[in-house]
Amino acid sequence: MFKHVFGALVVCGLGAGLAGCNSSAPPSSSVPPPTRTAPSVADLVNARGSSGEAELNDRGYSPARTQGLTTYWWHPAGACVRVVTAQGRYKTVQSTAATDCGKSASTSAAPAAAPAATVSRATPTLDEQVCLQAVTAKTNNPDVVLLTGTETSQANTAVYVGVGPQHAKWRCLVSKGRVAEVMSMAN
């Protein structure tokens, strides 16, 4: 019996391109696409930063923006997730408003304006986290972002941080989680 049914399916499938099959199924173009929902991320609390970032990417999320130790992740299904990293681990993972990811409240999948080219989208390393905290303390301004262009030498790592809405450039020299110097790069 299985051979007869399987054979009929194969013949019908192969013949569909030439003569079609007698089938009551509607053409595939009239079938509505499946509803997409963003996968849950609650299980990522306490994940290591790099592992959590890989998981979010695997689940279809992409970083929308980073502010200090907080990264906002966007999913094309219309979900925005706020992730706060501390000591190299995801301490807070929660859903938040689409506007936090740079989307309008009614937007579900439209792309937002691209962030400044100099803003890093990666999850901060321990040294970068320490520098973000040090620059925040030095400037008394919590609006800090990690800029691209970190430089490493034998003694220290130079981490560049943008402060305020114009991303005024600051340099932080750090090694193994200890800040050696924080200074403004403005003229």
Q: What is the four-CA torsion angle of 63, 64, 66, 72, rounded to 10 degrees?
A: -80
Percent of the chain predicted with pLDDT > 70 = 70
Indicate the CATH number for domain 126-184.
3.10.450
Q: What is the mean pLDDT of the chain?
A: 74
Copy the structure tokens of residue 158: 């130079």
Whether the Cβ atoms of residue 83 and residue 95 lie closer than 8 Å to each other: no
Q: Which helix (H) or strand (E) holds 10?
A: helix 2-15
If we measure between CA atoms, which residue out of 64, 55, 52 comes closest to residue 90? 52
For residues 137-156, give the mean pLDDT. 84
Q: Any idea where the domains of the chain sit in the sequence?
A: 42-101, 126-184
pLDDT, residue 137, reads: 94
pLDDT, residue 85, reads: 86
For 42-101, which CATH class?
alpha beta
pLDDT digits (tens, 9 = 90+) for 68-111: 888 888 888 888 888 888 888 888 887 888 888 888 765 544 34
For residues 138-158, give the mean pLDDT. 84
Whether the Cβ atoms of residue 173 and residue 179 lie closer than 8 Å to each other: yes
pLDDT digits (tens, 9 = 90+) for 4-24: 444 444 444 444 444 444 444
Angle among Cα 130, 165, 90 to the nearest 5 degrees reads 35
Copy the structure tokens of residue 71: 């990264």
For residues 166-186, give the mean pLDDT. 91
